Amino acid sequence: MIKITTTEGLAAFCDRASAHAYVTVDTEFLRERTYYSKLCLVQLAVPGDAEEDAALVDPLAKGLDLAPLYELFRDPGVVKVFHAARQDLEIFFIQGGVIPEPLFDTQVAAMVCGFGEQVGYETLVRKIARESLDKTSRFTDWSRRPLTPAQEQYAIADVTHLRVIYEYLRDEIAREGREAWVAEEMEILSSPETYIVHPDEAWLRVKTRTSSGKFLAAVKELAAFREAYAQSRDIPRTRVFKDDALLELASTKPKTPQDLSRSRLLLREARKGEIADGILQAIETAAAYTPAQMPKLDQSRDKLQVNPALADMLRVLLKAKSDTYNVAAKMIASAADLDLIAAGQRDLPALKGWRREVFGADALRLCKGEVGLAVKGQRVDVFPL
């Protein structure tokens, strides 16, 4: 393992990595006090057992520029291998404007290969690499320097074992002819939209059962202000105000600073200055909504007429297909998806792409009464009617 603290050192490693078929990547970061993740460490490894084949890159080192790494990420000849890549990819997209391609996520690949739902890295290390991990450094402060030997060993293990895991899963997927399945999943991870949070859509994450248009208008404007404020100052949205305070404000609709002072849930810092001004402006803007502008909760699922018997049959079919193809059931379809299919919905991922091939086509035939299910010992078979 080598330690990289200069741009020149990073460029040299990335130059050597570009000659390999793949590079494994992981990060350590902090997010407790910021809106965006603070990148504290990047771990890299290429095939081989030499000391220089694995590296710890210190992005906090003075003067270090990650540009050589971003160039490697853009190299179409080198597969970038991650495990549970979403948070890592978000960091690189926000910080460097780049999404590594081509991309391989071993968590997704493991689900395709029958290792279960959302399988953890530690499980794959144990089952594939036949090694164990020391997780004692997992929740340490990665921004402090110097890193301890235990931290360094923990961090580098996240990419050295990943080489064995990647090669095994890559070969299994090729043997089963499922490369297109994994590629389909990688398209979602490779889309910039996956990592962009639009303030005007932030209200959709606030849980409320109140369907009043005026109330939801206030929720929308307050959530948009909070998101934009948190983004611009790189602080957690809960530091602006929490969801319970947001809902209280949407209900009471304060119009003056004096009204804000009566809030039970609003933090003291939010009752004055820019946050207070933003709250009052959001309430004022929401009050001016016309009936056509007022947001509505998506209650379409609540109104669906689900055939419970058909939904149960779809669950049996999904279990059978999951077992037959050795693919995690939740990767094919969720319980909510099955209810939607049983209610007549057809614009669903479970009925498209590789999922249609594995499950969706027979699911639709089952809904139409064209096929039935028969139990034969431990197996469930599909037969034409």
With 90 as the cut, is the pLDDT of residue 209 above it?
no
- Residue 266, pLDDT score: 95
CB 79 within 8 A of CB 21: yes
Tens-place pLDDT, residues 318-372: 999 999 999 999 999 999 999 999 999 999 999 999 999 999 999 999 999 999 9
What residue has token string 């003291």? Answer: 268
- Residue 301, pLDDT score: 58
With 70 as the cut, is the pLDDT of residue 18 above it?
yes
Q: How far apart are CA 77 and CA 46, in angstroms?
A: 14
- Residue 377, pLDDT score: 83
Q: Please state which architecture CATH assigns to domain 2-195.
A: 2-Layer Sandwich (3.30)
CATH class of 199-288: mainly alpha
With 80 as the cut, is the pLDDT of residue 11 above it?
yes
With 70 as the cut, is the pLDDT of residue 186 above it?
yes
The H or E element containing residue 38 is strand 38-45
The two structure tokens encoding residue 150: 């235990």
DSSP 343-366: TT---SGGGSHHHIIIIIHHHHHH
Tens-place pLDDT, residues 83-126: 999 999 999 999 999 999 999 999 999 999 999 888 999 999 99
The two structure tokens encoding residue 170: 């890559």
Query: What is the DSSP secondary structure assignment for residue 125, as one 8-state letter?
Result: I
- Residue 332, pLDDT score: 96
Residue ranges per structural domain of the chain = 2-195, 199-288, 301-384
Q: How far apart are CA 279 and CA 235, in angstroms?
A: 17
For 8, phi then psi, to 5°, come to -65, -40
Q: How far apart are CA 5 and CA 63, in angstroms?
A: 9
Domains 2-195 and 199-288 share a fold: no
- Residue 299, pLDDT score: 63
Lowest-confidence pick of 157-166, 285-294, 326-335, 373-382: 373-382
The two structure tokens encoding residue 67: 């540009």
For 281, phi then psi, to 5°, come to -65, -40
Tens-place pLDDT, residues 237-295: 999 999 999 999 999 999 999 999 999 999 999 999 999 999 999 999 999 999 999 99
Q: How many CB atoms lie within 10 A of CB 238?
A: 12
- Residue 300, pLDDT score: 59
- Residue 297, pLDDT score: 84
With 90 as the cut, is the pLDDT of residue 63 above it?
yes
**What CATH number matches the domain at 301-384, 1.10.540, 3.30.70, 1.10.150, 3.30.2310?**
1.10.150
SS (H, E, C) 261-297: CCCCCCCHHHHCHHHHHHHHHHHHHHHCCCCCCCCCC
